[in-house]
Amino acid sequence: MSVEPGTTFERFAANLEALEVSVTRAEPATFDSALREVTTEPTIGTRLPFESVSLPDWVDDEPTPATLEAATTGVTAASLGVADYGSVVLPGTPEGGEPVSLFQDLHVAVLRRSDLVGDMRTAIERLGPQLREGHSAIVATGPSATADMGALVKGAHGPKDVHVIVLEDGGEDGE
Partner 1 sequence: MADRTDARSRTAARLRHLLSTEGDAIHANASALNERRAATYAATDTLEDRRAEARAIKADAIDRLPDLLETVREAVEKNGGTVYLADDAADANRYVAEVVSDSTTGEPADDAAAEDTPSVVKSKSMTTEEIDLNDALEREGITVTETDLGEWVLQIAEESPSHIVGPAMHLSRAEIADLLTEAFDPDERFETPEALTRFARDHLGERIREADVGITGANFVVAETGTIALVTNEGNARKCAVTPDTHVAIAGVEKLVPSIGDLEPFVDLIAKSATGQSIAQYVTMLSPPTDSPTIDFDRPDEPIVAGSSDGAGVDPGQGAGETDRDFHLVLLDNGRMAMREDDQLRETLYCIRCGACSNSCANFQAVGGHGFGGETYSGGIATGWEAGVHGGESAAEFNDLCTGCSRCVEACPVKIDIPWINTVVRDRRNRDADPAAADFLVDGLTPDAEAGGLDLGKRFFGNVGTVARLASAAAPLSNWLAGTDPVRAVLERTLGIDGRRDLPTFQRETLVDWFEKRGGVDASKERATESRARRGGQAASRRRVDRTGRDGADPIDREAVLYPDVYTNYVDVERGKAAVRTLEALGVPVRVPDLPESGRAPLSQGMVATADRQASRLYAAVVEDLDAGRDLVVIEPSDLAAFHREYERLLPERSFERLRDGSDELCAYVDDLLENGADPAPLRTGSGDDPVTYHSHCQQRTLGLEAPTTALLERCGYDPQTTSVECCGMAGSFGYKREYYEVSVDVGSRLADEIGTAEPVVASGTSCGDQLETLLERPVPHPIELLAPDGYRRC
Residues that bind partner 1 (CB under 8 A): 1, 3, 15, 46-47, 54, 61-66, 68-69, 85, 87, 92-99, 102-103, 120-121, 124-125, 127-128, 131-151, 153, 155-159
Q: Write the single-letter amino acid at 88.
A: V
From the list 111, 108, 102, the residue with the least C-alpha distance to 155 is 102
CB of 110 to partner 1, least distance (A): 15
- Cβ atoms < 10 Å from Cβ of 147: 9
Of 22, 21, 43, 16, the C-alpha closest to 32 is 43
Residue with smaller CB distance to partner 1, 28 or 99: 99
Q: How far is the CB of 7 from partner 1 (least distance, A)?
A: 19
Cβ atoms of 142 and 20 closer than 8 Å: yes
Nearer to partner 1, 25 or 28 (CB): 28
Alpha-carbon dihedral of residues 85, 47, 113, 170, nearest 10 degrees?
180
CB of 168 to partner 1, least distance (A): 22
> Maximum distance among all alpha carbons in the chain?
47
29 vs 153 by CB, closer to partner 1: 153
Residue 77 CB, nearest approach to partner 1 (Å): 12
The residue among 91 and 172 lying less far from partner 1, judged by its C-beta, is 91
Say which residues have a Cβ less than 8 Å from residue 129's Cβ, sequence separation at least 6. none
Nearer to partner 1, 70 or 168 (CB): 70
- Within 13 Å and on the Cβ side, how many CA atoms surround 165? 27
- Nearest-approach distance from CB 9 to partner 1, in angstroms: 18
Q: What is the DSSP letter of 132?
A: H
